[in-house]
Structure 1
């Protein structure tokens, strides 16, 4: 646990349309520079049988900006939200950075986690790989574009991939000066980047049921990382989605949704 104060996270809370016998809620945690809004199409599928909560991590989406991107700190934010919503236990799904938050939560407070699902991330340290993305967002902040077309032109100076630029553009909002501005805490994220690419927090292995979904075209959960993964998640089932990259939930949405449902139903 950390001494950093928790923040009051923004969240989307979708009630079950028809609760099953196991009505344990599902909590969804996005990745770096993502938000709960990115998951709405998936949430509509999963809410057919259970309550679903998707949250915005600190410095993301509509949540407050605050220093401290350590995984224990972000996991504590999630625990505070569970307490606020009177949720004792939940199935927890996290993608990328959110997967490391989910792993940290499961290791630090296993009694709160009914099952753990990790999407395309391993509990290992990664190399710095977001210089172009940070430069692109800085160019938008400095350029103060009047509309999304101008914002895309600024982003394209550093990021060639249009899908990536479209994803980054989800972090833009029109501010009081009528320009497209960043809603993420970019400076706080950059200052905390060494923690973000580091290992999850927690002292012990999570012994509960866990599923690791990885993209067949992604390098984020390579075979040589599996021994380290097994040390942290000894009961992990690893499933590879074909024709999917790091954003496997966007590349293969139906297969991703079905894998999550099947895993939860098997608990």
Structure 2
């Protein structure tokens, strides 16, 4: 997450291109059909995938998807501004992971205890554990 390069030209970085990459991967793996799950931009890509090759999609699950464009901009309020400032000030992947939790979950959800830990702690530890992965 966050370690991929970004092409210089926007036309090289579209959801259609990424959906076609997924189709090529499915073909390479010999998968005739698949259950597809997409989150955020992945949901946008999954929609394109389903539109291009509906016969290859067994089921489609979308989480936090948008149509893209200006509709996906968050509302500008105090909380959103605070999170944006914290993210811009975050210097390490660990700091960005902590801010990312506040972007995707409510405070109430994160502060709820699951056993002896809050969800925030559990989710952060799970995310932090992936930061050392190549």
TM-score where L is the length of structure 2: 0.52
What SS is found at the alignment partner of 1:87? coil
Aligned partner of 1:164 in structure 2 is 100
With over 3 angstroms needed to count, the CA separation of the structure-2 counterparts of 1:128 and 1:216, relative to structure 1, is: closer
The alignment yields a C-alpha RMSD, in angstroms, of 4.3
Shift, 1:162, TM fit: 3.0
Q: Distance in 2 between matches of 1:93 and 1:155?
A: 26
Tell me how far 1:102 sits from its aligned partner: 0.3
CA-to-aligned-CA distance 1:138-164 (integer Å, 9 cap, x gap)? x88xxxxxxxxxx43x997xx7x8332
The 8 Å contact of residues 6 and 13 in structure 2, kept in 1 or not, is answered as no
CA distance change for structure 1 residues 80 and 65 in 2, over 3 Å: closer, same or farther?
farther
Residue 84, structure 1, aligned to residue 25, structure 2: no
Which residue of 1 is the match for residue 57 of structure 2?
113
Residue pairs, 1:1-267, within 5 angstroms = 34=1, 60=4, 66=7, 67=9, 68-123=12-67, 125=69, 126-128=71-73, 132=84, 136=88, 151-152=91-92, 162-164=98-100, 243=109
How far is the alpha carbon of 1:71 from its aligned partner?
A: 1.2
More relative contact order, 1 or 2 (CA 8 Å, 6+ apart): 1
**Cα separation, partners in 2 of 1:162 and 1:106, compared to 1, 3 Å:** same
**Distance (whole Å) between structure 1 residues aligned to residue 50 and residue 40 of structure 2:** 15
In structure 1, runs of 5+ residues without a counterpart are: 1-33, 36-58, 141-150, 166-214, 218-241, 245-249, 254-267
Q: Please identify which structure carries the higher helix content.
A: 2
Q: Which runs of 5+ in 2 are unaligned?
A: 75-83, 111-118, 123-134
Using the TM superposition, give the Cα deviation of residue 120 of structure 1 relative to its aligned residue in structure 2, in angstroms. Answer: 1.4
Shift in alpha-carbon separation, 1:81–1:65, aligned structure 2, 3 A: farther
The count of residues paired between Structure 1 and Structure 2 equals 98
TM-score by length of 1: 0.29
What is the CA deviation profile of residues 165-216 of structure 1, one whole-angstrom value per residue up to 9, with x for unaligned ones?
8xxxxxxxxxxxxxxxxxxxxxxxxxxxxxxxxxxxxxxxxxxxxxxxxx89
Map of 1:5 onto structure 2: none
